[in-house]
């Protein structure tokens, strides 16, 4: 190994040892967020499937079942992403250009 490689390995080792808690906490946050989002999606799809099954069982119409499942999908999507929708609406109302009345 050359001298530059040894210095680079030593610097990287010191940085990793110094920032290990931050690196591991960031990794844990990322993995936890992915797991949380995946569980929310699975739960939402289970609700949509249950709504479709119940409407199909009670009313016997595929079209009515698909409509109810679509409504359930929209409502669970709004329930899942309401903070994002709220932030986008606030940003829209803050930065929109005012209408010009003539």
What is the C-alpha separation between 55 and 101, in angstroms, rounded? 50
pLDDT at 23: 87
**Token code pair at residue 16:** 């990793």
Give residue 77's pLDDT. 84
The answer to whether position 19 is within a domain reads yes
Q: What pLDDT is attached to residue 102?
A: 67
Number of structural domains the chain divides into: 1
Alpha carbons 87 and 82: distance in angstroms, whole number = 9
pLDDT score of 9:
92
User: In this structure, is residue 43 part of a structural domain?
Assistant: yes
pTM as predicted: 0.60
pLDDT tens digits, one per residue of 52-100: 999 999 988 889 989 998 998 898 888 888 888 899 999 999 998 777 7
Percent of the chain with pLDDT over 70: 99
Whether 101 is in a domain gets the answer: no
Rounded to the nearest integer, the mean pLDDT of the chain is 88
Confidence tier at 29 by pLDDT (50, 70, 90): very high
- Domain that residue 64 falls in: 3-95
């Amino acid at each position: 190994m050359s001298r530059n490689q040894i210095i680079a390995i030593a610097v990287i080792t010191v940085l990793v040892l110094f920032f290990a808690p931050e690196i591991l906490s960031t990794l844990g946050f990322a993995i936890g967020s992915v797991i949380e989002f995946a569980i929310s999606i699975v739960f939402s799809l289970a609700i949509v499937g249950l709504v479709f099954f119940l409407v199909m069982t009670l009313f016997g119409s595929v079209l009515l079942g698909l409509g109810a499942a679509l409504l359930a999908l929209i409502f669970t999507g709004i329930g899942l992403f309401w903070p994002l929708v709220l932030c986008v609406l606030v940003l829209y109302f803050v930065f929109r250009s005012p209408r010009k009345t003539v």
